Amino acid sequence: MQEVAKHYAIALADVCKDKLEEAAMEMAELLSILKEVPTFRLFYESPKIKKEEKVKVMQKVFGNEFVKPIQNLLQLLLDKGRATLLVEIGKEFIAEANRRLNKIEADLILPRKFSEEELTEIKKRAQQLIESRKDLFGLREAKEIVFRTEENQNLLAGFILKLEDYMVDASASHFLKQWKQQLKDKKLKGLEKALQE
């Protein structure tokens, strides 16, 4: 199904070429709505609810909030019985749009919600880290970095940065695990030394 989603995403990017950045932001907004309101996603994807009812509700909820190609995609997926592909298509479309716009996505996992001001500062530091270590992240050319943020309360403090296949764990929980391992290693070395004497 990922290949099918990719084909839809590429076609949507082709159609949106003049408004690609706007369409990508709107798709991200739509995916956010589907994630935050799971009942709406269930409603849209449900084969038991008539297509006409879905169209009517979507028109009331969204109106003309999205560019025409995204509206057409929503309708097309309903017509073809492929509503369950929307989230996958949306993710693929955003990735394709970013590729065409010379942008790269990075996931920034944080221990809590931050104010816009704090988030801006964290993103700035993450951007500096990426730029200073381009070789580590496999970046040869300058790209604009688009951050997606998510919350993970298990981190305690710090952050985890994921960029394509690379990850930097600058969280307090990771630091504590490393510290614990170092203490354990020192104790083992001390024990070995004591046994050798």
pLDDT of the chain, 197 residues: tens digit per residue: 688 999 999 999 999 989 999 999 999 999 999 999 999 999 999 999 999 999 898 888 888 888 899 999 999 999 999 999 999 999 999 989 988 888 878 888 888 888 888 888 878 887 787 777 776 666 666 567 777 888 888 877 877 878 777 777 777 676 677 777 777 777 666 656 666 66
State residue 112's pLDDT score: 83
Q: Give me the pLDDT at residue 50, please.
A: 93
pTM of the model: 0.68
Domain ranges of the chain: 2-100, 103-172
Buried b (16+ CB within 10 A) or exposed e, 78-115: beeebbebbbbbbbbbbbbbbebeebbbbebbbbeebe
Architecture of domain 2-100: Orthogonal Bundle (1.10)
pLDDT of residue 141: 66
pLDDT, position 132: 76
Structure confidence at residue 104 (pLDDT): 79
Rounded Cα distance, 42 and 21, in Å: 28
CA nearest neighbour of 110 among 167, 178, 161, 144: 161
